[in-house]
Structure 1
Amino acid sequence: MIKILTVKQVSELLQAKQSTIYAWAEQGFIPSFKVNGLLRFDEAEIFEWVKACKRPARCYNVNNLTRAREGGRN
């Protein structure tokens, strides 16, 4: 079953202002649709969109991070 979200729900989920969600939807940046003129979102599509926007984590050598801090620049 499809779960439909409002702008407020998406803004809370993504921790972004409602005005940002409206702007993203208008620009086609985030998947959305309108029902009776009201902006709505498919929860599954939002989660897929978030996954697609994720950047892969980098692997760091802990010893190298420690050495960088010892230099006093971090």
Structure 2
Amino acid sequence: MTDQIMTLKEVAEYLKLTEKTAYRLAAEKKLPGFKVGGSWRFKSTDLEEWIEQQKDKVAENG
């Protein structure tokens, strides 16, 4: 995936989440994102890093 900016809807589809869940995770700073004019945006590279971190957490916790 190239370093592109994704919308909340695109991130929800990519992660197989509802938009509501993706919004909640972003608002709780559990998902890496930023707001532009009140709308959530996400860098694809940040999401890839976040996914790897989540996989590492699962591996550590067994």
What is the number of residues matched between the two proteins?
Answer: 56
Residue segments in structure 1 that go unaligned for 5+ positions in a row = 57-74
Q: Which is richer in helix?
A: 2
Q: Which has the higher contact order (CA 8 A, sep 6+)?
A: 2
Q: Which is richer in strand?
A: 2
Q: With structure 1 as the length reference, what TM-score do the two structures score?
A: 0.71
Instruction: State the identity as a percent.
Output: 34
Q: With structure 2 as the length reference, what TM-score do the two structures score?
A: 0.83
Runs of 4+ off more than 6 Å: none
Structure (1 or 2) with the larger CA radius of gyration: 1
Whole-angstrom distance in 2 between the partners of 1:2 and 1:34: 17
RMSD: 1.2
